[in-house]
């Protein structure tokens, strides 16, 4: 029976979005949820935590996990990200394996498929970026993937433009069990607002500093409170690994930090629905990505 049928039971469950770095996982998450909760960047390995996005209809609720891109780790932070991604596969009712059809089948995709062979969870192959290839080019790419794994469904989409995303959501719901509504209908993530605000600040730094400060950035919200006048006051610390990176993030006469704050504040105000005063500080924590206690302080925990 279709999950959208008038008399259908309510279905609810969990779905992981996996794929190699930079295939559009966060873009897809935001498109499905209809709101920005996961940061987007053209740099690989932008997502560090499993972001829980919640999609709710009258008949179903999907809780999405946007996992870090599966890749060979090069630091303790990288190890954490890989464990986070792989643990998600055993926790869910469906797996969305997102691939980039414009780049074609690569070694990273083959590695992930080998990991998928260890799970019995239904896997939906989501072929992203169909807006970048000719429709006739899709069939041979689909055939390549079908040779490697018995996918439960294959859905071509454009995460950027939303093409076929409603169809994908319908397919995911088919694989959910009957169950309760875990979250209120208007809730789109289970992360606290502080987490999302910190991620939005980090996104702006990734965009604005380009190659100079790749993944040496972490953001911690020190204080967040609403004032009597309704303005939300947020104080955040941006951690970098080297003094030279601190200089880049601050910029000449503080220009870079000011622009980071301006762009982040616009997104945060849209998220919170209220005026925001954003105060940013930059601190050096040398080699923080390989220091266990600092990773814990910043919210990275082995699961």
Q: Are residues 88 and 35 in the same domain?
A: yes
For residue 67, give the nearest of 101, 115, 137 by alpha carbon.
115
Q: Is there a single domain that holds both residue 165 and residue 199?
A: no
Helical spans, DSSP H, in the chain: 25-33, 76-88, 107-116, 135-148, 165-174, 193-209, 243-250, 255-272, 292-297
List the CATH number of the domain containing 146.
3.40.50.300
Residue 5 in any domain: the answer is no
Q: Looking at the domain assignment, is residue 6 inside a domain?
A: no
Side-chain half-sphere of 4: how many Cα atoms within 13 Å? 9
Distances (CA, A) of 266 to 31, 160, 211, 260, 269: 19, 21, 24, 10, 5
Residues 99 and 15 reside in one and the same domain: yes
Residue 31 sits in the same domain as residue 65: yes
> Using only C-alpha atoms, what is the Rg of the chain?
20
* Closest C-alpha among 70, 137, 71, 68 to residue 102: 137
Q: Are residues 89 and 167 in the same domain?
A: yes
| pLDDT values of the chain reduced to their tens digit, one per residue, 303 residues | 444 455 778 999 889 888 887 788 888 988 988 765 554 444 444 444 455 778 999 999 998 876 655 545 555 555 555 565 566 677 789 999 999 999 989 888 998 898 888 888 999 999 999 999 998 999 999 999 999 999 999 999 999 999 999 999 999 999 999 988 887 787 776 556 777 788 888 888 888 886 656 567 788 888 878 777 888 888 998 888 888 888 889 999 999 999 999 999 988 887 777 888 999 999 888 766 666 655 666 555 444
Cβ atoms 35, 84 nearer than 8 A: no
Tell me the backbone φ, ψ of residue 12, rounded to 5 degrees: -150, 150
Do 103 and 251 belong to one domain?
A: no
**pLDDT at residue 152 in the model:** 97
Domain of residue 267, CATH code: 3.30.300.20
Number of domains in the chain: 2
Structural domain includes residue 180: no
- For residues 33 and 170, membership in a common domain is answered with yes
The token duo for 101 is: 């059809």
Q: Both 163 and 219 in a single domain?
A: no
pLDDT given at position 67:
65
Q: Do 18 and 166 share a domain, yes or no?
A: yes
- Which residues does 24 contact at the CB level (< 8 Å), separation at least 6? 98, 100, 128, 129, 159, 160
Are 46 and 150 in a shared domain?
yes
Q: At what angle do helices 193-209 and 255-272 cross, to 10 degrees?
A: 140
Is 3 contained in some domain?
Answer: no
Determine the structural domain holding residue 139 and report its residue range.
11-174
Query: Within this chain, do residues 29 and 150 fall inside the same structural domain, yes or no?
Result: yes
Residues 43 and 166 in one domain: yes
Alpha-carbon span 225 to 234, nearest angstrom: 7
254 in any annotated domain: yes
Using alpha carbons, select from 282, 213, 285 the residue that is nearest to residue 245. Answer: 213
Q: In what order do the strands lie in the sheet with 60-66?
A: 51-56, 60-66, 11-18, 94-100, 123-128, 153-156
């Amino acid at each position: 029976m279709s999950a959208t049928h008038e008399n259908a039971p309510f279905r609810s469950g969990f779905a992981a979005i996996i794929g190699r770095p930079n295939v559009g996982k966060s873009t897809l998450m935001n498109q499905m949820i209809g709101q920005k909760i996961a940061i987007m960047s053209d740099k690989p390995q932008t997502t560090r935590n499993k972001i829980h996005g919640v999609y709710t209809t009258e008949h179903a609720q999907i809780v999405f996990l946007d996992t870090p891109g599966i890749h060979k780790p090069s630091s303790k932070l990288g190890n954490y990200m890989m464990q986070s991604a792989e643990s998600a596969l055993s926790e869910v009712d469906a797996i969305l394996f997102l691939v980039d059809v414009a780049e074609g089948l690569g070694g990273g995709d083959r590695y992930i498929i080998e990991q998928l062979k260890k799970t019995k969870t239904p896997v939906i192959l989501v072929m992203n970026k169909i807006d970048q290839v000719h429709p006739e080019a899709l069939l041979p790419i689909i055939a390549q993937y079908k040779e490697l794994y018995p996918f439960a469904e294959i859905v071509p989409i454009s995460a950027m433009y939303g093409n076929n995303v409603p169809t994908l959501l319908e397919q995911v719901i088919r694989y959910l069990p009957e169950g309760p509504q875990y979250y209120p209908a208007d809730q789109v993530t289970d992360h606290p607002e502080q987490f999302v605000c910190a991620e939005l600040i980090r996104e702006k730094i990734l965009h604005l500093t380009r190659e100079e400060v790749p993944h040496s950035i972490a953001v911690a919200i020190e204080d967040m409170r609403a004032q009597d006048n309704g303005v939300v006051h947020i104080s955040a610390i941006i951690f970098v690994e080297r003094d030279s990176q601190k200089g880049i993030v601050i910029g000449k006469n503080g220009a870079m930090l000011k622009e980071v704050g301006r762009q982040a504040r616009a997104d945060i105000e849209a998220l919170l629905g209220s005026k925001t005063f954003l105060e940013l500080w930059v601190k050096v924590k040398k080699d923080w990505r390989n220091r266990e206690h600092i990773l814990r302080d910043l919210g990275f925990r082995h699961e």
